[in-house]
Amino acid sequence: MGNETGKEDIKVKIQKAAILVIGLTLALFHIYTSFFGALPSYQHRIIHLVMSMMLVPLCYDLFKFKNNTGKLIYQIIFIGILAVIGIYSYSIANDMWKQSGTMSNIDMVLGTLLVIMLLYFTWKVVGAAMPIIAILCILYALLGPKLPQGIAHRGYNWSRITELLFKGTNGIFGTPLGVSSIYVSVFVIFAGVLEASGAGDVFIRLTQSLLGGFRGGPAKVAVVASSLFGTISGSAVANVVGTGSFTIPLMKKSGFKPEFAGAVETAASSGGQLMPPVMGAAAFIMADYIGSYQQVLVAAIIPAILFYIALFMMIDLEALKNDLRGQSKEELPNFKEELKNGWFLLLPLVLLVFLLVGVRYSAQKSAFFSIVFLVLIMLLYPGKRRKFWDVVKLIAGSSKGMVSVALTTGTAGIIVGILMLTGIGYKLSSLLIALSGGHVFLLLFLTMLTSVILGMGMPTSAAYVLLATLIVPALEELGVVKIAAHFFVFYFGIMANVTPPVAVAAYTAAGIAKADSMKTGLTAWRLSLAGFLMPFMFCINPALIGQGTTLEIIMAIATALIGSYGLATAVQRYFKGNLSWLQTILVLAGSICMMVPGTMTDVIGIVFIGFVYSVQIGKEKKAKTAVTTQML
């Protein structure tokens, strides 16, 4: 019995050692190339994908075995196959252009194995939706001549499809994986190490010390902490788990209903991907489409702030309606004490923003210097020093965050590659324009539905790549500004996290809150309504994403702020008292008018909102007068 236990321990140690070696090698490769420059495209992407895939059998249970022996065997087999694929692909990279149109037997075998493993790993790690779409695309390419007229094409054999997907940069190793390997990877490392350093706890405690004492304070703490944490993690679900385990019980304790507490955390965590400076993988892919990451940051900042202001106002009105007060002074952390103990962990994020926005360094170099600075702080800061080996383990562990990104962008390459090969992408774009009858609003509505549906079943980055390929060209053709069109599909890919019936982030929060999943999802959707309206607004008025003169941008912000407060009032159906349905409709209509550019719409919006508010204020005064009279 003792020998068997000893053997099991050895197998576990081998697995941990393999994770450490592969994770550390992958992390150091990306840190090094972020400063000294990437390898040629194909080779760089091979290393990124193959090493990320090697972590899958080590970190995930792909098959069920009663003991670790079977697990160790399949781990060795998978890693061995991936090593062969990586070494072979890397070795032929320079001569690949000479072999265009030809596929040797080894090309066919290794290419087929890579496609199968990539789809299977993505299925196990990310979910079934994306691999199923990729498989349907492959079948579409194979069965082209046998399909109905309108979507039929000449068809391609497996050799041609494998060549597209495996050899060159138009398939698996295409643009999405390229962005993942150069930009996203180094930010994933930064985020992983920063979270492990304890920076997330510092964010929460500092926010709690500042806002916890205000009306509805714990929920406001959740909003600010989740926006800060979310911009680092780039994942709504990870954000819910990271901050929600603290903020949700705190909200419940202060009097918020479990469903509302879970919904606040869901909305705030989902919005984290909208908030600069990091914003997740999709934002970096977008930067590759539209120009530079700085452009993405500038365009993102106003809508993100408006989203959080609207959410903040809804929480305040909920607290006012239910007379929920903040925490007592004794319950709050001391701001000066918390800042003194953790200020140094905030510096890497400050440095990152400064390098990206102030100095305008490239995204990867900004992340490089921020990682180096963070590691030095962890090793050298007096009284808070970490052991060198512990920091090495943190860096190696950060590579696990690359796995899902590499898998989804690799699988996205399969989908996009085949869409381009068969020409179906152009057909779908034309079909959408025809269905909308050339009306921008109708096309935007169809795009919203498509984006939310795709976003329910796959990560934001994958949904964005698909939509940017299929639908954005149609939006641009009807006159939508390029960056606005890209942000439109980006927003709704994220809003899928709060949209039932597949609101994964909401259901995660509901589990922590011990609340009804569907009620939590519906409440989160209601609280995130600004995120559903905002994309329509900046497509009509690009000044909201920084596209316009200074005066136009200021006017857009001012009217949108009024609209945001009106929206919060309509969603909560409360101002100085409960709103009737007619008042709710008037305020909602007025809020939408305030977000639409134009003097006439602004006047209508102010009249509608002002009328309802004046009625509410008048009612409140009458009630106070009546109470005073009774007392006399």
In this structure, what token pair is assigned to residue 71? 């697990």
Strands (E), 318-389: none
Residue 201 is predicted with a pLDDT of 84
- Is the separation of the CB atoms in 275 and 521 below 8 Å? no
Contacts of 173 (CB under 8 A, 6+ apart): 41, 42, 45, 46, 49, 410, 413
- Which residue, 242, 235, 198, is CA-closest to 348? 198
Q: Is the peptide bond before 277 cis (omega within 30 degrees of 0)?
A: yes
From residue 447, how far is each of 236, 543, 583 by CA, in Å?
A: 22, 21, 31
Beta bridge partners of 12: none
Question: What does the pLDDT read at residue 309?
Answer: 92
Q: How far is CA 50 from CA 179, 282, 478, 585, in A?
A: 16, 21, 41, 54
Tokens of residue 529, six digits: 């309504």
β-partners of residue 578 are 574
CB 478 within 8 A of CB 433: yes
State the alpha helices, DSSP H only, in 167-280.
175-179, 185-196, 199-211, 217-233, 236-253, 258-271
Question: Other C-beta atoms within 10 Å of 590: how many?
Answer: 27
Domain ranges of the chain: 10-127, 177-408, 543-631
Separation of alpha carbons 490 and 248, rounded Å: 27
Tell me if 353 sits within 8 A of 346, measured CB to CB.
no
CA dist 304 and 308 (Å) reads 6
459/494 Cα distance (integer angstroms): 9
Encoded tokens for 515: 């609340």
Burial class (CB in 10 A: 0-12, 13-18, 19+), 403: buried
Question: What residues have CB less than 8 Å from 153, skipping those under 6 apart?
Answer: 144, 145, 147, 422, 423, 424
> 383 in helix, strand or coil?
coil
Residue ranges of E strands in 388-492: none
- Cβ atoms of 502 and 496 within 8 Å: the answer is yes
Please spell the DSSP secondary structure of 618-632, one letter per residue: HHHHHHHHHHHHHH-
* Residue 578 backbone phi and psi in degrees, to 5: -70, 140
Give the per-residue pLDDT at 1: 46
pLDDT averaged over consecutive 10-residue blocks of the chain (632 residues)?
59 89 97 94 96 95 77 91 96 78 89 97 90 94 88 90 92 92 90 86 88 89 82 74 86 92 92 82 85 88 92 92 86 89 89 87 91 94 88 94 91 91 81 84 88 77 84 89 93 86 84 92 92 91 90 91 92 90 94 86 93 90 72 58
Cβ contacts of residue 215 below 8 Å, gap of 6+? 316, 319, 320, 324, 325, 326
Choose among 370, 402, 347, 368: nearest CA to 235.
402
What is d(CA 489, CA 451) in angstroms, rounded to the nearest whole number? 6
d(CA 628, CA 243): 46
Q: Is the dihedral of CA 101, 104, 105, 108 positive or negative?
A: negative
Contacts with 354 (C-beta within 8 Å, 6 or more apart), sequence order: none
Q: How far is CA 141 from CA 102, 420, 426, 597, in A?
A: 18, 10, 15, 45
Residue length of the chain: 632
β-strand partners of 574:
578
Q: How far is CA 596 from CA 296, 448, 483, 613, in A?
A: 22, 18, 18, 21
Which of the 8 DSSP states describes residue 13? H
> Residue 3: what pLDDT?
56
d(CA 413, CA 49): 12
Q: Decide: 558 and 295 in contact? Cβ < 8 Å.
A: no
| pLDDT for residue 631 | 61
Dihedral, CA of residue 258, residue 260, residue 262 and residue 263, to nearest 10: 160
